[in-house]
Structure 1
Amino acid sequence: MKVLLIDVNCKYSSTGKIVYDLYSRLNADGHEARIAYGRGDVIDEPGIFKFGIDSETKKHALLARITGKNGCYSPKSTARLIEYIKEFKPDLIHIHELHAYFVNHGQLLEFLKEQQIPVVWTFHCEYMYTGKCGFAYECQQYKSGCGKCPYIHEYVSSFGIDRTAQLLAEKKKSMEGLNLKAIVTPSKWLADKTKETYLYKYNIQVIHNGIDTDGIFYPRPSDVELRNEYGINPDDRLVLAVAPNIMDVRKGGQTVLDLAETMPDTQFVLVGADETKRHSENVQLIARTKNQDELARWYSEADVFIICSKAENFPTTCIEALCCGTPVVGLDECGTKETAPEPYGTFVKVDIAGDSDVKYAATLEALKKAIDSQLARELSAQQIRDFAVSAYDNKVMYNNYLNVYNICS
């Protein structure tokens, strides 16, 4: 079977790692897989093609902000992708993310409709059924066509022009006639939401994200050197948060900092900041890293992993922590809770968007109690890891996708 995987990234970021895992396992299993991706460093490996032109991506991002229209530019990059598809002649195309200013949606989907190539599409966010939003939060205007977007300045961002109604109508038109065999979502939360949209008629199923649980994400021994490097005492309780752009409002970094102020006897490490610095006596900020081994060391060293994002589909950071033997605590938002069912995770159902100071203080107190409650369970790292490997090893993910490919190709 010849499979082409399309994504914004390759090898790096949550979706880029998933795509690379599928590519590697397909080829090892005797199939012929290739990756076409739009952004990031050029990867010099057989069957991996960066079609995105960086200068065109920057122009696309600027035009999207000026005009309010995303996914309508990058004609040269998209033409390169189409030529690559023509040359490869795949039996199946597996699409992941198409936003992030690197491809022309209409141009690509019209070609795929003309060729009637079978498509499997993994939704990692809400983008394909909203006008422009990766996450709709509490907004449900996409059910009636979008317009008057309350999040016009959030990613995918605009300087002020609202084209969301037009963009959603164009997405619906582009999807008509596409040989779309299956829509996959990593979480039940996103599957249920997708079924409430114009895409309800398609085959929608859940396949959890998978990671490398053997070579990278496994429990490491106590790491005194790591603690010493950042001035953390060996006996201090350690709470870890990891996210790209962790101080972005959606990622909840500020909530973690505010929680740390209420827990002076606990050390907090936030990975994914703009720089590495000691924020306060009990908070260490660390810049984003592509070093997976370093991340695994932090996951293993932490007593608890915390996630305070306002919106996530099925965050890979949670399953990375679990595979390293670390329990999860966080806000019960979107699909996050699905990653760590009890007893491996404790989640607080509080919507902090627009909360009063009193409610926000209650949220912080609930998170503090959740950390204490989770640690009181005294689960061993091996117990947590055993669950995580059975559910989230990339071999499990691959086999589930292979079943879909075999049915759909």
Structure 2
Amino acid sequence: MSRILFINSVCNGSTGMICKNLYKATVEAGHECCIAYGRGETPEGFNTIKIGNQLDIYLHVLKARMFDASGFGSKHATKEFIKRIEEFKPDIIHLHNIHGYYVNIEILFKYLKEHPEIKKIWTLHDCWAFTGHCAYYTYAKCDKWQTGCQGHCLNKNEYPQTIFSIINKNYIRKKELFNDIENMILVTPSKWLKGEVEKSYLKGYRIIVINNGVDTNIFKYTGSNIKERYGIKNKKVILGVASVWDKRKGLDTFIELSKHMDSEYQIVLIGLNDKQIKSLPENIIGINRTENVQELVKWYSAAEVYFNPTLEDNYPTTNLEAIACRTPVITFNIGGSAEICPLKNIVSESDYINTVINTSRKYNCDLDVNKMFMINKYYKLYKEVK
């Protein structure tokens, strides 16, 4: 039996769900597990460690906003967390998102370096680990991270937003902290991100790809009257889903698409805030973010096509959810999003309208999106490093 500690910013959302799925599978296999997290609600039925409190997060956010110090706050909270790690005595520490204003990377990685006997797996869900500031850089078309993040930061107003940028200093500090750690393997959910890591200062580690997965007992084709409830029974639905809608996620692209549709089609966007909903064109139905998974499944299943016009992403969970509901996905050739789609469904930013409108549903995708495919790969990795 092994003791496995998962560390992630949250226990909800896509990365939190991945941690919980891995936790449940490894506990069922007879291992002792714990999830350490920084923000959000404590999940019932899980052994957890909450790192710090709300005040710690506020102070970390303030430090990050003022001095570009994301990852360098929460000192006291992290020192207390190290004590909890020593009490738990993990054989394996599985890192996920370590940014998110909840843990101090200098203290945490000093501990990891001092304990070579602990096996480490770090799943990179974005690019933050090897840049001087940002989690993504493709929208800004920035490649400064390949040469040391010199000069002005093009993304200082994006997460983690800051007033004063010190990207080169952050780059040097993170490069020193994250390298030369014994018994560490990096995992990326997409081939695209693996390729980016191989161009970064983390290229000396073993890097493997394990695609994310979803619960196909939940995300599956489900008939419903949801179109009737919204008065669009006879219309073809073009669906978009995001936790936060902005230019990066493609809200402007959907608005442009709405100008080219006739009355046969209906755009439905889930995850909008009230202000965004009020500003939508009449031929777009806007829905607030829903925690009702079954409601989401009904929309995925009712849609003729799922359109994800993201301009920056790794391996979007929403694509997987749509595919599990047998709905075709259309996306741009950005990041790892295109890896989830057949070639015919990968479109350019200048030529997407006809493809989206003329795609008919349903299909069976060859891609295995079942979460068990992901879990089994991780479980083999745990046994390998045991």
Place the TM-score, normalised by the shorter chain, in its bin. over 0.9
Which shows bigger deviation, 366-375 or 180-189? Answer: 366-375
Does the 8 Å CA contact 2:255/2:281 hold for their aligned counterparts?
no
Q: How does 1:227-242 map to 2 (within 5 A)?
A: 227-232=227-232, 234-242=233-241
TM-aligned CA deviation for residue 182 of structure 1: 1.0
Q: How does 1:78-157 map to 2 (within 5 A)?
A: 78-116=78-116, 117-137=118-138, 138-147=141-150, 148-157=152-161
Aligned-partner Cα distance in 1 for 2:171–2:133: 8
The change in CA–CA distance for 1:52 and 1:202 in structure 2 (over 3 A counts) is same
Partner SS, residue 56 of structure 1: helix
Aligned-partner Cα distance in 2 for 1:372–1:267: 10
Match of 1:357 in 2: none
Match of 2:356 in 1: 371
Aligned-partner Cα distance in 2 for 1:2–1:341: 40
TM-aligned CA deviation for residue 177 of structure 1: 3.0
Match of 1:38 in 2: 38
Does the 8 Å CA contact 1:303/1:326 hold for their aligned counterparts?
yes
Match of 1:358 in 2: none
Q: How does 1:254-269 map to 2 (within 5 A)?
A: 254-265=252-263, 266-269=265-268
TM-aligned CA deviation for residue 372 of structure 1: 4.0
TM-aligned CA deviation for residue 349 of structure 1: 2.8
Which shows bigger deviation, 284-293 or 21-30? Answer: 284-293
TM-aligned CA deviation for residue 277 of structure 1: 4.6
Match of 2:328 in 1: 327
The change in CA–CA distance for 1:163 and 1:40 in structure 2 (over 3 A counts) is same
Match of 2:347 in 1: 348
Aligned-partner Cα distance in 2 for 1:212–1:126: 26
1:401 aligns with 2:386: no
TM-aligned CA deviation for residue 281 of structure 1: 3.0
Aligned-partner Cα distance in 2 for 1:192–1:373: 33
Aligned-partner Cα distance in 1 for 2:324–2:112: 38
What are the Cα deviations for residues 24-52 of structure 1, in whole angstroms up to 9, with x where unaligned?
A: 11111111121111110122434122223
Match of 2:56 in 1: 56
TM-aligned CA deviation for residue 217 of structure 1: 0.3
Aligned-partner Cα distance in 1 for 2:66–2:248: 23
Does the 8 Å CA contact 2:306/2:329 hold for their aligned counterparts?
yes
What are the Cα deviations for residues 228-270 of structure 1, in whole angstroms up to 9, with x where unaligned?
A: 33232x1101011001111x22111121122112213210111
Aligned equivalent of 2:181, options 178, 183, 190: 178
Aligned-partner Cα distance in 2 for 1:197–1:277: 40
Aligned-partner Cα distance in 1 for 2:290–2:99: 23
Opposite residue 378 of structure 2, the aligned amino acid is: Y
Match of 2:15 in 1: 15
Partner SS, residue 255 of structure 2: helix
Does the 8 Å CA contact 1:189/1:313 hold for their aligned counterparts?
yes
Does the 8 Å CA contact 1:121/1:180 hold for their aligned counterparts?
no
Match of 2:219 in 1: 217
- In the TM superposition, structure 1's runs of 4+ consecutive aligned residues that sit over 4 Å from their partners are none
Aligned-partner Cα distance in 1 for 2:257–2:81: 46
Match of 1:198 in 2: 201
TM-aligned CA deviation for residue 325 of structure 1: 0.8
Match of 2:251 in 1: 253
Aligned-partner Cα distance in 2 for 1:280–1:139: 33
Opposite residue 301 of structure 2, the aligned amino acid is: S
Does the 8 Å CA contact 1:271/1:285 hold for their aligned counterparts?
yes
Aligned-partner Cα distance in 2 for 1:30–1:127: 33
1:290 aligns with 2:288: no
Partner SS, residue 93 of structure 1: strand
TM-aligned CA deviation for residue 274 of structure 1: 0.8
The change in CA–CA distance for 1:180 and 1:123 in structure 2 (over 3 A counts) is farther
What are the Cα deviations for residues 293-327 of structure 1, in whole angstroms up to 9, with x where unaligned?
A: 11111111111001111100000000000001100
Aligned-partner Cα distance in 2 for 1:277–1:136: 28
TM-aligned CA deviation for residue 91 of structure 1: 0.6
Gaps of 5+ in 2: none
Does the 8 Å CA contact 2:179/2:202 hold for their aligned counterparts?
no
Opposite residue 249 of structure 1, the aligned amino acid is: K
Partner SS, residue 228 of structure 1: helix
1:47 aligns with 2:47: yes
Opposite residue 336 of structure 1, the aligned amino acid is: S
The change in CA–CA distance for 1:109 and 1:38 in structure 2 (over 3 A counts) is same
Does the 8 Å CA contact 1:37/1:52 hold for their aligned counterparts?
no
Partner SS, residue 305 of structure 1: strand
Opposite residue 121 of structure 2, the aligned amino acid is: V
Opposite residue 56 of structure 2, the aligned amino acid is: E
Gaps of 5+ in 1: 351-362
Match of 1:166 in 2: 169
Across the aligned residues of Structure 1 and Structure 2, the Cα RMSD in angstroms comes to: 1.6
